[in-house]
Amino acid sequence: MVQILIKNGLVYDPLNSINGEVMDLGVKNGKIVDPSEVNLNEAVVVDASGKVVLPGGIDIHSHIAGPKVNVGRLIRPEDHYLTNIPHKPPFKRAETGLTVPNVFRIGYDYARMGYTFVAEPATPPLKTRHTHEELNAIPMIDKMAFVLVDSNWIVLDLIQESRRDMLTAYLGWLLYATKTYSLKIVDAGSDAAWMIKGEGLSLDDQVPGYNLTPKDIIKAIAESAQQLNLPHKVHVHCNRLGYPGNYSITIETMNLTKDLKIVSEGPALHITHVQFTGYKGDSWGSLESGGEDIANVLNVNPYVTLDMGQVIPGRPATTMTADAPFEFVLYHLTRWKWSTTDTEVETASGIVPYKYKKKSYVNTVQWAIGLEVVLLSKDLWRVFLTTDHPNGGPFIDYPVVMSWLMSKRAREDFMAKLNRKALKKCVITSIDREFTLYDIAIITRASPAKLLGLEKFKGHLGVGADADIAIYDIDPRTLDLSKDYEKVSKAFRRAYMTIKGGEIIVKDGEIVKQVYGRTLYVKPEIPKDMIVEIEKYLDSAFKKYYSISLRNFFIDERELRNPMEIPLKTSLR
């Protein structure tokens, strides 16, 4: 493996408190080493003078794999007409797609932006073998997936029966069986309501067929995540997503941490794509931003993290989520295309193409909310840049979002194209804050690594870290980052160089080598007697609920390309 010496780069590495220092970095055997350890006779020397050097980007929430993504491709043929890029032997495959790209474009576009790690945030257990097959095919990046558990009938049975240790053991077993990394909750309990009543649920509504509420489900799963000592506890898509007035449910969900038994380090709940659950008002006509209210709650609750789910007006999107009730409503609003699927006793999903319009009142409020929450947050280690790809917009627009965060002028120039009446219902117009490169490094590198529990070897440039490095051709000493925001955005869209695992994979914004990263998953420690008990229970439950056998459900490690197992010590006894 090649050795690399990066000389004189402007390094931003928040996990090591390095803020724009001119430094050299050494790379050897896929790891970052002291520059003195690099053999100059064998090394590739990279002159990074006047260039920004960051750890590889980490995306904690992007729908890049699984059956929903594949269906999204099928119902969006227009997404591919003008986006085809032929293959380039010997290392680059053909690319196609915008909102739902093919697997090769996903990997290449992330690498071109300097991103090296992505989390697929929602996979139904029964279909996770499909998810892994797609993750295996995506080049360039490391990956992981979060398994859906919010409406799983086995989960609901165990919660209702108050068998909490069994619930925890089952969730630990499920994570290992599906080779996933964290637990995902989408619109807790609403799949049962969708199948029986064709509607969703608020936090205190009763789940049909169970003496439970969504609040009960979230608390039980969150406490099991504590017992399992998961690096990233619970990824929560709040109830009533997409409905006016839902900001109060988001705040109530955030405040559930006050009732949780915290036995493990780190945040207890992650609220995802908060823009979609940050709406004030009782109708679309009276819609207002709840971003400031949510930010105020976040600022006093250290157990909660949020990602923004930023929408990109003027861009097409393909909404896809396990929140079938919301997608059904969106289909009737758009009156174009809709796909929906029930996955046996686990979840229901919906897929609806959409386009956010610059002059739309509703879309303008949506644009403001995500930015407001992040810009008003006092602790940037608990907020994250996402577009909920492809729901709010394609991930390739992250550089544009960065420019909005770094430049008030960029926001003002874009607001001139938006709905003025809607902007009066938002606080974004009064926010002066502008992020620095150090701030951007936090929310796109350091804080995601820390949230996922990977900060020992990801998200930083210290000795021993994985050699995942992004170099950008911008010099903040000579460039006004606020005034020249378009140049900043352009630089972040096409990295000068991306290094993955010690290999140079992007140079001057172009793919120069194809590599395949690892897929990370957890293996929680479960006592042997509990394993025997849970497998006996599941043998009966699978015969009752599933159309497949328990034996065929389990995913073997050999089915993953470059698997990386993360063993976990738990409090199960």
Same domain, 35 and 181: no
**Residues facing residue 339 across a β-bridge:** 351
Percent pLDDT > 90 in the chain is: 90
User: Given pLDDT bands bounded at 50, 70 and 90, which one contains residue 91?
Assistant: confident
Same domain, 49 and 178: no
**Structure tokens, 455:** 């900060």
Query: Which of 342-346, 405-409, 421-425 is predicted with the least confidence, judged by mean pLDDT?
Result: 342-346
pLDDT recorded at residue 266: 85
Instruction: Please check whether residue 320 lies inside any domain of the structure.
Output: yes
Instruction: Please check whether residue 285 lies inside any domain of the structure.
Output: yes
| Unique residue bearing structure tokens 């120039």 | 413
pLDDT recorded at residue 439: 98
Please give the Cα distance from 222 to 183 (Å, whole number): 9
- Beta-carbon neighbour count of residue 569 at 10 Å? 9
pLDDT recorded at residue 69: 95
H or E, element range at 71:
helix 67-74
If you average pLDDT over residues 240-266, what whole number do you get? 93
pLDDT recorded at residue 193: 84
Total domain count for the chain? Answer: 2
Please give the Cα distance from 65 to 72 (Å, whole number): 11
Phi first, then psi: what are they for 454, rounded to 5°? -115, 15
Same domain, 484 and 371: no
Same domain, 328 and 267: yes
Please give the Cα distance from 508 to 518 (Å, whole number): 25
Query: Which of 31-35, 199-203, 311-315, 412-416 is predicted with the least confidence, judged by mean pLDDT?
Result: 199-203
Check whether 261 has a pLDDT greater than 90.
no
Same domain, 352 and 469: no
| Degrees to nearest 5, angle at CA 486 with 275 and 364 | 30
Instruction: Please check whether residue 505 lies inside any domain of the structure.
Output: yes
Please give the Cα distance from 502 to 516 (Å, whole number): 12
Instruction: Please check whether residue 473 lies inside any domain of the structure.
Output: yes
**What rounded mean pLDDT belongs to the chain?**
96
Beta carbons within 8 Å of 372's beta carbon, 6+ residues apart: 289, 291, 292, 295, 426, 427, 428, 431
**Residues facing residue 31 across a β-bridge:** 28, 466
184-216, pLDDT tens digit by residue? 999 999 888 888 877 889 999 999 999 999 999
Nearest to 151 by CA among 208, 224, 75, 73: 208
Report how far Cα 369 is from the mean position of its chain's Cα atoms. Answer: 18
pLDDT recorded at residue 421: 97
If you average pLDDT over residues 8-33, what whole number do you get? 98
Name the packing angle between helices 398-406 and 408-415 (round to 10°): 110
Same domain, 37 and 159: no
pLDDT recorded at residue 420: 97
Cα torsion through 353, 355, 356, 359, rounded to 10: -140
Instruction: Please check whether residue 391 lies inside any domain of the structure.
Output: yes
Coil vs helix vs strand at 523: strand
What one-character DSSP code corresponds to residue 125? Answer: G
If you average pLDDT over residues 430-438, what whole number do you get? 98
Check whether 14 has a pLDDT greater than 80.
yes
pLDDT recorded at residue 2: 86
What one-character DSSP code corresponds to residue 88? Answer: B
Same domain, 465 and 414: no
Nearest to 180 by CA among 115, 231, 221: 231
Say if residues 105 and 96 touch (Cβ distance below 8 Å).
Answer: yes
pLDDT recorded at residue 81: 84
Same domain, 476 and 376: no
**Structure tokens, 172:** 């630990």
- Looking up residue 481, the CATH number of its domain turns out to be 2.30.40.10
pLDDT recorded at residue 429: 97
| Unique residue bearing structure tokens 């077993």 | 173
If you average pLDDT over residues 435-454, what whole number do you get? 98
Q: How many helices (H) and strands (E) does the chain have?
A: 19, 24
Same domain, 431 and 333: yes
User: Given pLDDT bands bounded at 50, 70 and 90, which one contains residue 301?
Assistant: very high
pLDDT recorded at residue 74: 92
Domain that holds residue 346: 148-436
Last residue of a domain, one of 370, 405, 436: 436
Same domain, 24 and 159: no
Same domain, 230 and 159: yes
Please give the Cα distance from 220 to 347 (Å, whole number): 18
Phi first, then psi: what are they for 560, rounded to 5°? -105, 140
341-396, pLDDT tens digit by residue? 888 999 989 999 999 999 999 999 999 999 999 999 999 999 999 999 999 999 99
**15 half-sphere exposure, CB direction, 13 A CA radius:** 24
pLDDT recorded at residue 90: 83
Say if residues 60 and 384 touch (Cβ distance below 8 Å).
Answer: yes
Report how far Cα 123 is from the mean position of its chain's Cα atoms. Answer: 13
Report how far Cα 294 is from the mean position of its chain's Cα atoms. Answer: 19
58-85, pLDDT tens digit by residue? 999 999 999 999 999 999 998 888 888 8
Percent pLDDT > 70 in the chain is: 100
pLDDT recorded at residue 88: 86
Nearest to 217 by CA among 197, 196, 228, 202: 202
User: Given pLDDT bands bounded at 50, 70 and 90, which one contains residue 479?
Assistant: very high
Instruction: Please check whether residue 392 lies inside any domain of the structure.
Output: yes
Query: Mind giving me the DSSP string for 227-259?
Result: HHT-SS-EEEE-TTTTSTTTHHHHHHHHGGGGG
108-144, pLDDT tens digit by residue? 999 999 999 999 999 999 999 999 999 999 999 999 9
Last residue of a domain, one of 436, 471, 502: 436
Start-to-end Cα distance in the chain: 44
